[in-house]
A and B are shown apart, each in its own frame.
Chain A
Amino acid sequence: MIHGSKGKIVSGVNTSQGVIDTIEQYYENGWTDGFPIVPPTEVSVSNMINASGRDPYEVLGVVPPRNGVATVEMVATNAVMAGCKPEYMPVVLAAVEALLDEEFDVQGLQATSDPAAPMVIVCGPVVQEIGINHGASLFGPGTRANATIGRSLRLILINLGGGYPDSGDKSTLGSPAKYSYCVGVDIDTPWPSLHTEFGYSESDSCVMVYAADAPRGNNPGGSGSMEFPLWILADSMSNLNHNIIHGGHAVVVISPLIAHGLAEEGWSKEEVQFYLYENARVPLDRVQRYKQLRYGRDQEAGDPYYWPKWLNVDEPDVSVPIVRDPRNMLVLVAGDPARSRSAYCPARPYNRPVIKKITV
């Protein structure tokens, strides 16, 4: 029997045909991202809850714009539907807690016209413990943990938040990243991991949720100084987009080959952040035209919100950095260890990245 009312756990999937019928019923009810779901049973949901060690009725928050209540049980149900193993549940819960943190502003992300999606960045020992892909094709398909943890958030945004196309989800174009967007990072890295920048220790496992467009890849190729791949990466970031106006953060992912090469040449992570801050810029006249046409702002009058207040507009050939602080360049190391590639994940800068420690 399948129940449509809130909080009910479905059952009655004891035959192959019953499973298929249940999947079809979920389609009819609108409880899917377009792919078939795994029908949740009382046993599978209980296993998921037990793996978290949390009270099933603990409320994590409400998911806008429809304001469905995200209890541990409802998160577990959607995690089962997404195809998660129980051992993924602590990661899913931490990601949902980050998503619903007021700092993140999920309301804005859900109903925006932007193509941004919640990017789930996992770091620390849990990445290897549960098999999150941090290597070749980490943004792509084929790894259960990445696919299903990211999908859990999307199902929660749909089933609890009402994020249906053209209703709760008002993205003009959408993005393939909105199906699932979860990666492991900073396992094969010469530098301190991302979460240590936020006060956690290397032995902790953490999840950061960051509102981002799909990754834009770069192929620097070549050989010689590792400054070259950074220069190519900075060039790909130097364009007129949200970051240039609003600042915020910018996530970049560089492959281990580049990172280790940089480290061998003496680069620290802070120096990479500063290099990108210095080189990922757009000439002031282009930014002024963009601002004027987009927002109709009077450049001469200045603008305390849209404009870096320290920018000297009288300086010849001045350029605007895409973030307002080098520390807002979030430099992650991941990808095929044998190749030199990088990617830039542009931010929806109205959302602040939120990091949570994973606990069991």
Chain B
Amino acid sequence: MLDGIRFEETGKPAVVVATTSFVRLAYSIRRSMNLDDLPVVVISHPLGGADLAGEKASEAAPEIIKAVIGM
């Protein structure tokens, strides 16, 4: 979350990827930093190791790209 915020602060488009268990925390921090436009892409929790995380990354990729280009 903090990495995403720091990217945003430098003017670079950022997307935060949060697992379902951390969504409330992500939204809370986003609100406190006045960054309501910072996109958060949600994937299921837990990450589940490198292989499963890779699959989840592939599934989430289109949504992440859409969020980056502001569609």
Contacts and interface: CB of A to CB of B under 8 A. Distances in A.
B10 interface: no
B24 interface: yes
Interface residues on B, range: under 10
Contacts of B24: 166-167
A308 interface: no
B28 A162 contact: yes
A167 B25 contact: yes
A170 B32 contact: no
Interface string B24-51: 1100110011000000000000000000
Contacts of B28: 65-66, 162, 167-168
Interface residues on A, range: 10 to 19
A162 B32 contact: yes
Contacts of B32: 65-68, 162
Interface string A67-79: 1100000000000
User: Taking chain B's interface residues, is the majority helix, strand, or loop, or is none over half, making it mixed?
Assistant: helix
A111 interface: yes
A111 B33 contact: no
A170 B20 CA distance: 13
A162 B28 CA distance: 8
Contact of A170 (B22, B29, B33): B22
Interface string A156-175: 00000010001110100000
Contacts of A167: 24-25, 28
A162 B29 CA distance: 9
A65 B24 CA distance: 12
A332 B28 CA distance: 39
A168 B33 CA distance: 14
Interface in A92-128: 111
A168 B27 CA distance: 10
B20 to A, nearest CB: 11
A109 to B, nearest CB: 14
B29 A65 contact: yes
Contact of B25 (A67, A68, A168): A168
A200 B32 CA distance: 38
Contacts of A168: 25, 28
Interface of B: 1, 21-22, 24-25, 28-29, 32-33
26 contacts: A65-B1, A65-B25, A65-B28, A65-B29, A65-B32, A66-B28, A66-B29, A66-B32, A67-B29, A67-B32, A67-B33, A68-B32, A111-B25, A162-B28, A162-B29, A162-B32, A166-B21, A166-B24, A167-B24, A167-B25, A167-B28, A168-B25, A168-B28, A170-B21, A170-B22, A170-B25
Given A67-B32, A68-B32, A111-B25, 12 more contacts: A65-B1, A65-B28, A65-B29, A65-B32, A66-B28, A66-B32, A162-B29, A166-B24, A167-B25, A167-B28, A168-B25, A168-B28
Interface of A: 65-68, 111, 162, 166-168, 170
